[in-house]
Amino acid sequence: MKKRKEFLPFSRPAIGNDEINKVVSCLQSGWITTGALSKEFEDGFCTLTGAKQAISLNSATAGMHILLSALHIGPGDEIITPSLTFASTINMIALRGATPVFADIDYDTLNINADLLAGKITGKTKVIIPVHFAGVPADMDKINALARKHNLVVIEDAAHAVGTYYKGVHAGGFVHPAIFSFHPIKNITTGEGGMITLNDTDLERKLRLLRFHGIERDAWKRYGKGGDPSYDIAEPGFKYNLPDMMAALGITQLARLQELNARRTALAGIYLRNLAGISGLDLPKKPNYDFVHPWHLFIIKVTGRKREKFMAELAEYNIGYGLHFSPAHRLKYVKEKYAVNPDSLPETERAADRIISLPLFPDMRDDDALYVCDAIKEIMKHG
């Protein structure tokens, strides 16, 4: 087959004229940091998820940081999470002085195996952090029931889950908090950015203080007409607010969510149809409950050859790829600090050396996806 000349990236943000015009109008408005547009973006997220409150941030990591801070997570506390997650979660747990406890995943969906969670709970467990992996929701009924029974907080890692529904409920629409990410590869982007959704007025107040220096009133209220420019600090906080310039992008992307996710779903369909039956590849499988998949990532598992060789071969065809993720228990810091036995995570270990994320972004053409499928068929043919 003929190799393409132009590189097909693993991901590219879908930025159109609507996004550009909205950002430009914000730039021209005279107010570019956190203000009315960030509030509008937050309101849009409440509407999408059904959560009572939404707090915009400059990353999902910031959201995890202030949530763990507001919950007073600290030394001696244990937090259950999959090892197959982004390092940011483990970093935030470690920075709070707490201990991550890794639960194994289901190989087919890459989601935390909710049936194994009970065995991980000790007297020190405070929080469970499931990840809706690649956009497929974790089994929230089981996780929520267990959390209720043991009086634990659930924080959904919904970084992959803008457009994810579990049994009709959007990620972040349960009673507990969730974090979303708007990094450029995500289903919607603000360049960098994040959101917490929650249903708890007291926690919301604490989080808003932690988000912005511990200052009670937002800058846009202090600097508005007749505003009182003085401020006071209730407790020390961080600087994690989302500027309006970026919220402008988020508002426009959110308005296009159906269109963007429909395009991802169509491309995933091309992959599923054309990669089916190739020996040496495992395709993503569905969980056995009702859900809506926003197809944040399309992850295959290469069983027929070494994954690193497969990546090098994809590169020869000018195809980009991603790795979600290097499991946390194999990262240097985590290994040295928490010494996790890999034998306790057999399905994570099985998936870890096989997973690779294929190109998937709304502006990809059908031809691009078909080219990836043809290249993979060629690669797998030649042993």
Ligand X SMILES: Cc1ncc(COP(=O)(O)O)c(C=O)c1O
Q: Which residues bind ligand X (CB under 6 A)?
A: 59-61, 85-86, 88-89, 131, 157, 159-160, 181, 183, 194
3-state secondary structure of 28: helix
Q: Tell me which of 2, 120, 167, 186 is the catalytic residue.
A: 186
Is there a cis peptide before residue 86, judged by omega within 30 degrees of 0? no
- What HEC string does 344-374 produce? HCHHHHHHHCCEEEECCCCCCCHHHHHHHHH
CA distance 332 to 261: 36
Query: Catalytic: 142?
Result: no
- How many angstroms separate the Cα of 370 from the Cα of each of 175, 261, 283, 296? 42, 19, 16, 19
CB 188 within 8 A of CB 163: no
CB 125 within 8 A of CB 369: no
Phi, psi angle pair for 163, to nearest 5°: 110, 5
What are 187's two structure tokens?
């289903």
β-strand partners of 99: 78
Shortest Cβ 363–ligand X spacing (Å): 20
Shortest Cβ 188–ligand X spacing (Å): 12
Shortest Cβ 323–ligand X spacing (Å): 11
CA distance 373 to 166: 30
CA distance 212 to 175: 24
- How many angstroms separate the Cα of 275 from the Cα of each of 155, 300, 311, 364? 35, 10, 16, 17
Residue number, 58 or 373, with CB nearest to ligand X: 58
Rg (CA), the chain: 21
Shortest Cβ 89–ligand X spacing (Å): 6
Residue number, 51 or 171, with CB nearest to ligand X: 171
Shortest Cβ 133–ligand X spacing (Å): 7
Alpha helix stretches (DSSP H) within the chain: 17-29, 36-49, 60-70, 87-95, 140-150, 201-211, 219-222, 244-255, 257-275, 307-316, 332-338, 346-352, 366-381
Shortest Cβ 217–ligand X spacing (Å): 26
Shortest Cβ 143–ligand X spacing (Å): 16
Just list the catalytic residues: 186
